Structure 1
Amino acid sequence: MTETETVDIRGILSMLRRQMRLILISVVIVIGLALMYLFNATSIYTSQALIYVDPSKKDLLSVEQFASGSSSADNSKIDSEVEILRSNRVLFETMNLMGLIKDDEFGPQLSRIDHIKLAVGIEVESPNDPKVLVASTSQKLRNSVDIRRKGLTYLITVSANSENPEKAAEIANTMAEVYIRQQIASKVESALASRDVLQAQIDTARSGLAQSEASFNTFITDNLTRLEAEVGTERFTELQSQLESVRTETLQTQTQIASARTALDEMNWDTLLETLSSDALSALERQRVALEQRLQGTPEGSDEEINLRAGLLTIQTNMEQQAQAAFGSLEQSLALKEDSLDELQGSLRNEVLKGDLSPDTLASIFSLQQESDISQRQYSNLLSRMRDLEAQAMVQVADSRLVSEALPPNFPSAPNRKMILALAMVLATGIGVGLAFINEFLVGGITSLSQLRNIITTGVVIGSVPKVVLTDTQLGVGDLVIDEPMSSFSESLRRIRANIDQELRDTVDGCAIIMVTSANSNEGKSSLSLSLARTYANAGKNVLLIDGDLRKPSQHKLLGVQPNEGFLDYLSNPGGDSDIDRSFYITDSKSRAGVILGRGQADVPTDQLLQTETFLNLMKSARKNMDIIIIDTPPMLPVVDARYIAQHADAIIMAVRYGMTSQSDVREGFVQLEAAKRSKVSIYTVLNCDETKATDNAYYSYNE
């Protein structure tokens, strides 16, 4: 492992320690949300039924059974059965059989918006549209079931989810039973539909058969003279005479029935009696006539008239019943005559066929016989096939069967608490680490010199100051420059001084004014100012440190003194004395650097004091007497004071607190400095309190 990789790993671990609070908060929030979900989530139970699909064609009436076809055909059949199981037909029948429309779980429920309306006192209409109820329930049922083929086998699984384990098993079993029952019904319907199609063909064949038979009889009737001459037998003549006699009687009976029915419909009793010649009807007719005669002399509306009319209606009803009975006798007689006519025609036809017929007659008769035979065979075949279909419809069996019924599960299938908690932990850690990286490298503070260089593209990054641990006797990190001159902290300050000196060597002749600022407060600029002043003083320079932060001075705290008068007091009331010999000016006891102190927070605007002649004269006088002037200024973003000091500076140092100063604040502070400084003045950035270069892993902080 290389040194660079070791540094990167330590940097990541250091970043994670800094952002541990954010990571823990993310973990607590995500785990809390997961626990809330698990606490409020309804347990769902899953039950599964198993269906076996036989791809072979089943026919109980056939000795030979059809084996299954190719594997591709079998796969297509299984896939088709899966889609049939998912169809609306199976779904709706299952829903109706179980009454799920009125079920608390699958029936229509109020939405969250409706619950909110009810909570605030707004009435909500319940869904009463049957189509809406069916659509809502069917969609819930569809979402609760899962139907799929089990691998490449002939098995189909029907899985049902419900809040109730018994209901889950009932749904799975009901869907399987409905599917199998509908499969049988579909086969029966198919067989009956084929039968109905054949029935129409049978009716046509029957008509053709009757027509061919009638054609034969018509031929004999139309050619009796020629046939009698060719046959020439006494039997033929006798049959012909009997046939004519029966035909005449049949026609007379048909005419009698038609005339009698017409008379009955018209209530023409005289014609009806004349046609039927019934003694019972005659007796009833005499009674009817007698009652009508009595009605003629009876007062209208009297009781006698009412009774007579009721009796007349009864007699008419009895006459209609007697007429219907007579019709039955006539129709029975007509049927016997028609049977006799058919028998005579058959006998006559047989007698004709026995005779010595001419070739023309034989050809005509043979043609008629062939047509009759063909019609008879067609009719027989169709009738036989129809009877087969009717038998098949009665003995159909399903191609599928339920091989394993669904049982109520003992444990819920969802939510999987262990899995959810494990995923929540992983997700929470990932979110926490992700937010830590975002906060560290995008939104949060700066953690490396390379990152700082990428942000400050036009400035000069001159180094970093490590985070250090102070002893109880030290007031601030500036004491380390004197107490521990060989420490990494002291070396980092000397490196900063050397970088600035290299830049100022070619640009400044004489005293150089160095301004130290930051984007926000609490970034260590005051400690950096004091440390840099002592570093210059140790190098033999005549140094003046000015606490230019008039609003919130802090150098007197770092030096452990409390002046009676501060720099703000001097600028507000100079008293005509331009020499800096008042109590706010002291000499640093550790480095002999001169220090102009502040005393307390300002209660008046201070930016105007930095533009007075007093401040300008102080700067001029200090340039004449000092080698280095370091001004500790207020932060750039909260106040405007530093902008007025920047125009006097020959070099500007911007302190950036490691891991604390946001990148947007660094950019904004740098932009303001660029606008406030003189054109040729350089801005140097320092990564302050750098933890990656610390000699120990303890985290300490210090205030300005």
Structure 2
Amino acid sequence: MDAEIDLRTIFSFIRRQARLILAVFLAVIGLASIYIFTLTPIYTATTLVMFDPQDGDLLHDRTQNGLGSLADPRVEGEVLLARSDNVLLSVIERENLLDDPELHPQLGFSARVLSLLGLQKPALPSAEQALQQALSALGHMVKVQRQRSTYLINISASSVSPDNAERISNALARAYIDTQLSAKVQSISDARDVLVEQLGAARQGVIASEGSFDRYIEANLGSIIEQTSSPELSTLQVQMRQLGTLRQAHAAEVATLQSLLAGQDYSALASRLADQDLAELEEERQGLLARLQDEAAIASDIDLRQDLAGVEARLVERANLGISSIQAELQQTQVAENSLRQNLRTAIVSSGLPPKTLTELYDLQQQTELSRQQYDQLLLRSQQLQAQATLQLPDSRVVSPALRPSEPSAPNSRLMLMTAALAGIALGVALAFLYEFFIGGVTSDEQLAALARARSAVVVPRAKVQPNQLSVADLVVDAPLSAFAEAVRRIRTDIDRGLRLQKERPSDLAPVIMVASTVPGEGKTTLSLSIARSYALAGQSTLLIDCDLRRPSLHRELGAQPSDNLVSLLQSRGPNEVLDDAILKDDLSDLYTLVGSTGSRSATDQLITSPNFGRLLSASRRTFDVIILDTPPLSPVVDGIYLAKLADAVVMVVQWASTAQQEVRKSLLSIEGENEREQVIVPVLNQQEVTSSPYHRRYASYYQEKTV
């Protein structure tokens, strides 16, 4: 049942505020349409790149490369690399994007305004600023993201030009792959350079270790021979000395010959080499030189210099040939010496040396071997890195290049309109809610009933005063079958039903009915008189008291003269003496009234809370059947809050589509907060337009209106 009531309330709310919701919806849709129409179409092209987590090295066995748990972080790192500033700068340089209108430096908004007003001359950005602006603009144009949990990377570029989008997307993919490969090669090259430095140090270590071993043998060879008494070692020692002497002689001869060749002393060269051909060439050269000194000869033969150059070339060639033969003998001597030295080492190690000498030799030999192994390893690794740097492949490749987009990717008109429609509905409902419950006036009985937390509310239609009438309240007597009179009787019915359900009120005392409103001008006094006349016409002795002591208006509704009797009564020490003079009888019914004058000069809340008012009300409840209090509005005056304590029922009058609901809610809360016992609340929506009420339109034929 509760769910049904909630749904009904929601549907009623939507029906009441349908116009506002529809207006907001159409306004939002219209603004969205205008905005979409003004947007520039944006085209997006996407290049699909596949990342291979295995190392792209042709020398590496790819089948042995396990991916493990490092693949995902590598893919995320590649995404960051693809949109890095370095890659973007490469795209700008390759595609010359600094001249592109979309990336060309633009003046800021403030600079354009100042330039337009002539307050400042536009200043062009520097080259660095232009590059930074182009880099920022390109960063906003491109988007790089991983395709879910795969090894696919989407590289997208958006532009107002479809050709530009395609060009930038593919260029970014190429720049990313090139940067990736360049980084790999550079990393290998850096490692190779480090190895080259270490290789030089290792080479020096091998040379030093080899020399230390040989120096130890040369220095201790005599003692070793004495210790071992080995004739083989003595023979090897003699041969080593002979080969050393021969090597030094060959080396000295080579040095002398090279010095003579450098000094062009071909005669000495021919003599030392015992080369007759070289000597003949030198004689021919000397003859040509002699002929060149004769100017007549030069005039008769201009090719002498060319002949001289040819002879000198043959001399150098012949001399180098002779020197090469001596160098070959030197190399053979060195090889023989090295072989003999190795034999000497082996013979020494294998001879019966003391343990101390063997240990020293073994340490020197091990150091030499370790240095040689380290050098060989570094040399091999350096050669491998050299080959590896030239055989690298990128880890990523383009599997689907970007194509020229045929349709714009933005704005997505359908999505934006759908979003605008949802936003329009949501905004419309929100504004309708604010208007319904906080800002706007009450426009239906359901609204008022919800505000008052009552079962229902009574709707009183708007009525007009005829020339022969003083007040709309006269319709209760003059037009008892009118819609206005019927609404007043419905108010009386709701009051009586609520009073019958009350358990705390004494049955021998007349009920006190308070007619209140939130603000002035809601028709409270007219309804007070109408309800009171309805009770009087029903045969109940009724007293209507004008409790608005500041601005009394009941006397105008009755056509009576204003009177100070009520104020005098409340201020008098013996109120019973003037009570009979203060009560007036209605000309149209048996209603009795207590009217006021132009207002009290005293604090009216003190008069309301005075003992005289209490005694007046007590006496009236014993004398009459019904007491109705026409109270001042609750918002500007506190009198109504005090009067609410004395009332058994409160008729809360709210003007249709006028009083803010928040104000009505505050007034109802003020009444409930001051009342310590159960109280009947009858909400009344007053002066509703008949044309806006479906209820009155549907049942209009049941009323006989004298005035509407």
The aligned runs of 1:397-408 (5 Å cut-off) are: 397-408=393-404
Show CA shifts across 1:270-298 (max 9, x none): xxxxxxxxxx9xxxxxxxxxxxxxxxxxx
In the alignment, structure 1 segments of 5+ residues that lack a partner are 258-279, 281-327, 455-460, 573-577
CA shift for structure 1 position 45:
2.1
Larger mean CA deviation between 188-197 and 209-218 belongs to 209-218
Of residues 32-41 and 543-552 in structure 1, the stretch that sits farther from structure 2 once superposed is: 543-552
Specify the SS of the correspondent of 2:12.
helix
Q: In the alignment, which residue of structure 2 is the partner of 1:434?
A: 430
Cα deviation code 1:674-704 (max 9, x no counterpart): 99x9x9999864310399xx88275999999
Determine if contact 1:82/1:148 at 8 Å carries over to the other structure. yes
- Give the 3-state SS of the residue equivalent to 1:420 in structure 2: helix
Residue in 1 aligned with 2:415?
A: 419
RMSD (CA atoms): 6.2
Work out whether 1:85 is the aligned partner of 2:82: yes
The match for 1:496 is 495
Which amino acid in 2 is paired with 1:541? Q
Cα distance change of structure 1 residues 174 and 112 upon mapping to structure 2, 3 Å threshold: same
Question: Which letter maps to 2:395?
Answer: D
Which one of the candidate residues 23, 32, 53 is aligned to 1:34?
32
For 1:6 and 1:487, locate their aligned partners in 2 and report how far apart those are by CA, in whole Å: 30
The 8 Å contact of residues 85 and 147 in structure 1, kept in 2 or not, is answered as yes
Q: Matched residues in 2 for 1:513 and 1:40: separation?
A: 67
Q: Does 1:343 align with 2:331?
A: yes
Corresponding residue number in structure 1 for 2:235: 230
Q: 3-state DSSP class of the match of 1:483? A: coil
Match of 1:409 in 2: 405
Alignment-derived partner of residue 139 in structure 2? 142
Structure 1 residue 189 displacement after superposition: 1.8
Counterpart in 1 of 2:392?
A: 396
TM-score normalized with structure 1 length: 0.64
Instruction: State how far apart, in whole Å, the 2-side matches of 1:415 and 1:245 are.
Output: 92
1:477 to partner: Cα distance: 7.8
Q: Decide which of 172, 181, 193 is 2:178's aligned counterpart.
A: 181
The one-letter amino acid of 2:44's match is: T
Q: Deviations over 1:468-526 (max 9, x none)?
A: 5879999858746832799676243134256569799749968x886533112453424
**AA partner of residue 84 (structure 2):** S
Whether the 8 Å CA contact 1:537–1:592 is kept in 2: the answer is: yes
CA deviation string 1:516-542 (max 9, x = no partner):
331124534244223312222123234
Q: Distance in 1 between matches of 2:464 and 2:427?
A: 38
1:647-686 alignment runs, 5 A limit: 653-657=650-654, 661-666=659-664, 669=667, 685-686=681-682
Which residue, out of 481, 490, 502, partners 1:483? Answer: 481
User: 3-state SS of the aligned residue for 1:142?
Assistant: helix
CA contact (8 A) 1:587 1:594 kept: yes
- Name the residue aligned to 1:529: 528
Q: CA deviation at 1:378?
A: 6.2
Distance in 1 between the 2:699 and 2:519 partners? Answer: 19
Q: SS at 1:48's partner residue?
A: strand
1:635 aligns with 2:633: yes
Which whole-Å CA distance do the structure 2 matches of 1:12 and 1:555 have between them?
44
- Relative to 1, partners in 2 of residues 1:700 and 1:476: Cα closer, same or farther, differing over 3 Å? farther
Structure 2 counterpart SS, 1:687: strand
Aligned mates of 1:178, 1:635 — CA distance in 2? 79
Would the aligned equivalents of 2:29 and 2:420 in 1 still touch at CA under 8 Å?
Answer: yes
> TM-score w.r.t. structure 2 length?
0.63
Tell me how far 1:50 sits from its aligned partner. 0.7
| Alpha-carbon distance change, 242 to 594 in structure 1, aligned in 2, over 3 angstroms | closer
1:156 aligned residue: 153
CA distance in 2, matches of 1:106, 1:390: 41
Q: Shift of the alpha carbon at 1:464?
A: 3.7
SS in 1 for 2:63: coil
1:161 Cα deviation from its structure 2 partner: 2.3
**For each residue in 1:428-471, what CA deviation from the matched residue of structure 2 results, as whole angstroms up to 9, or x when unmatched?**
212222333344345556756775556xxxxxx79742455879
Tell me how far apart the structure 2 counterparts of residues 682 and 350 of structure 1 sit (CA, whole Å): 126
Residue pair 1:51, 1:400 contacting (<8 A) in 2 also = yes
Instruction: Identify which range, 135-144 or 473-482, moves more after superposition.
Output: 473-482
Taking structure 1 as reference, are residues 30 and 533 closer, same or farther at Cα in structure 2, changes over 3 Å only?
Answer: same
Provide the rounded CA distance (Å) in 2 between the counterparts of 1:521 and 1:700: 31
Q: Secondary structure at the match of 1:66?
A: helix
Shift of 1:49: 0.2
Q: Do 1:239 and 1:347's aligned partners in 2 also have CA atoms closer than 8 Å?
A: no
> Aligned partners of 1:40, 1:492: CA distance in 2, in Å?
58
Alignment partner of 1:689 out of 674, 685, 691: 685
| Residues 488 and 625 of structure 1: CA distance in aligned 2, closer, same or farther (over 3 Å) | closer
- Fraction of identical pairs, as percent: 30
Measure how far apart 1:389 and its partner are: 2.9
Mapped to 2, the partners of 1:660 and 1:357 lie a distance apart of 122
Question: What amino acid maps onto 1:20 in structure 2?
Answer: A
Change (3 A) 1:11 1:74: closer
Could you tell me how far 1:402 is from its partner in structure 2? 1.0
1:517 and 1:633 in contact (8 A); partners too: yes
Instruction: Return the letter of the residue paired with 2:155.
Output: V
C-alpha change, 1:469 and 1:660, in structure 2 (3 Å) is: closer
Q: Distance in 2 between matches of 1:517 and 1:357?
A: 129
Question: Residue 17 of structure 1 corresponds to which residue in structure 2?
Answer: 15
Number of matched pairs: 599
Whole-angstrom distance in 2 between the partners of 1:354 and 1:397: 47
Matches within 5 A, 1:446-485: 447=446, 451-452=450-451, 464-467=457-460, 479=475, 482-483=480-481
Aligned to 2:193: 196
